[in-house]
């Protein structure tokens, strides 16, 4: 499952992500890993990762304050280069989130981030642990109709405005987007870096398919 040694993966450091475990996963796949803290760090990269752990509003503000957002935008939208969002890094792609108030997202994939209606459905929040993901479109090495277990840790879900952007679904009280995609952008609500063999396969598929 090793990736080409020529793959250089940048992980955006905006003080809102578990960078080390993501870096370790890509290192295991044979990639050169760069922690991106300034615009010059984008030079030579082939793939970019937008992580995210914590509250949406905090992550969104940190990303803007980091000064890296213009370079990330050029990478993903202007140059259409491969971008992977993980957890809150996926949620930031939405138009807005209702977590702890109303917060604007990037609006790169239309939809809203809303609290999972779990209590009245007989399940607990946060949604932590392994759950089955059903791929509805070919994404990151997985084919439509394929199912695999991945590791989750979240309370809010991404609900897409356009179902064509849904790459995979998961159910925890309600069915939500477990992965989304738009052209060169792929994102996962689950943590591939914590999902053992399935997660490594997803990351390797991202490297190979974008």
The residues with which 139 forms a beta bridge, in sequence order, are: 142
192 neighbors 153 (Cβ within 8 angstroms): no
Torsion of CA 31, 193, 145, 47, to 10 degrees: -40
The catalytic residue among 31, 47, 59, 87 is 87
198 neighbors 170 (Cβ within 8 angstroms): no
Tell me the C-alpha distance between 91 and 94, whole Å: 6
Close Cβ partners of 52 (under 8 Å, ≥ 6 residues apart): 16, 17, 59, 85, 86, 87, 88, 89, 90, 91, 92
37 neighbors 14 (Cβ within 8 angstroms): no
| 191 is an active site residue | yes
Cis peptide before 126 (omega within 30 of 0): yes
Please state whether beta strands 147-154 and 127-135 pair in parallel, antiparallel, or not at all (unpaired): antiparallel
Would you name the residues annotated as active-site residues?
87, 191, 193
């Amino acid at each position: 499952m090793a990736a080409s040694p020529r793959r250089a993966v940048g992980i955006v450091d905006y003080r809102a992500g578990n960078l080390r475990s993501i870096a370790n996963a890509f290192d295991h796949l044979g990639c050169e890993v760069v922690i991106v803290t300034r615009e010059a760090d984008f030079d030579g990269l082939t793939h970019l990762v937008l992580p995210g752990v914590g509250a949406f509003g905090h992550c969104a503000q940190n990303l803007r304050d980091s000064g890296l957002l213009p370079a990330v935008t050029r990478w993903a939208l202007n140059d259409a280069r491969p971008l992977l969002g993980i957890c809150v890094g996926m949620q930031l792609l939405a138009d807005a989130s209702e977590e702890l108030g109303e917060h604007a997202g990037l609006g790169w994939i239309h939809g809203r981030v809303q609290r999972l209606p779990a209590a009245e459905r007989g399940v607990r929040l946060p949604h932590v642990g392994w759950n089955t993901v059903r791929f509805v479109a070919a994404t990151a090495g997985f084919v439509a109709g394929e199912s695999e277990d991945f590791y989750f840790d979240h309370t809010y879900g991404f609900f897409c405005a356009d179902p064509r952007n849904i790459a995979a679904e998961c159910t925890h009280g309600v069915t939500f987007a477990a992965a989304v995609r738009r052209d060169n952008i792929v994102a996962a609500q689950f943590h591939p870096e914590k999902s053992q063999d399935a997660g490594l396969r997803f990351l390797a598929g991202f490297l190979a398919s974008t």
